[in-house]
Structure 1
């Protein structure tokens, strides 16, 4: 079971590192997404930083499992916020599925930890 958690942990960290760097660097896709979600651009920075911290905690969790729990919870709560943002603008499952899936994975990791 530990190997499965480590694999999920690495995949989740990689996904959120990529997503956070896009938000922090101001990638056009991220800017457009935040406009579509009717969220201010300054919130893109905060979201990117929170995601980066969560991913870093997941990576640190390879050495200390307490970090895994905290990182998974940070990402899980962030995923809840992302899901609410998509539901608020009435996005379909096509746009909402990935953040829901990543949130579920985060809470599975937290639960297995």
Structure 2
């Protein structure tokens, strides 16, 4: 029973982490697109923060899928969690309960699933 459970956790981990990578990694190529520029202006995000979050998210996405030290991966999860919680707050503050708010919530939940599965695969306690 334990082997089957471990296998399902591994499948859930790779599906959730793969979805995160598909969402996060290509974003660096669209940082200067008119839609991205308008979105950051709309949310009142300063130019320097747009670059910091864009490049940082790309690095964090890479750290989730590459074989790196556990401590580095843990910090990538923390940083991406902060980014998506901030996105949820920003969208709620400016737009209320719009579709983009639910997109940020969905990505945060996928990040949470990936994080919990990663801990289960490494037999680590969450607290």
Common topology (TM > 0.5): yes
In structure 1, the residue matched to 2:117 is 112
- Once residues 55 and 39 of structure 1 are traced to their aligned partners in structure 2, the CA distance between those partners, rounded to angstroms, is 21
Equivalent of 2:87 in 75, 82, 98? 82
Of structures 1 and 2, the one scoring higher in RCO (CA 8 A, sep 6+) is: 2
SS in 2 for 1:29: helix
Structure 2: state its 5+ residue gaps. Answer: 1-8, 119-127
Normalised by the size of structure 1, how large is the TM-score? Answer: 0.84
In structure 2, what is the equivalent of residue 17 of structure 1? 25
Aligned residues: 109
| RMSD, matched Cα | 1.8
1:64, distance to aligned residue in structure 2 (A): 4.7
Q: Is 1:70 aligned with 2:78?
A: no
Distance 2:11 2:73 in 1: 14
Based on CA coordinates, which of the two structures has the bigger radius of gyration? 2
* Preserved contact between residue 16 and residue 113 of structure 2 (Cα < 8 Å): no
- Residue 89 of structure 1 aligns to a residue whose secondary structure is helix
The CA deviation at 1:43 is 1.5
Task: Give 4+ residue runs of structure 1 displaced > 6 Å after superposition.
Answer: none
TM-score between the two structures when normalised by the length of structure 2: 0.76
How far 1:30 sits from its partner (Å)? 0.5
Task: Provide the C-alpha distance between the structure 2 equivalents of 1:19 and 1:91, rounded to a whole number of angstroms.
Answer: 24
Pairing 1:1-113 to 2, within 5 Å after superposition: 1-23=9-31, 26-60=32-66, 63-64=67-68, 66=70, 67-113=72-118
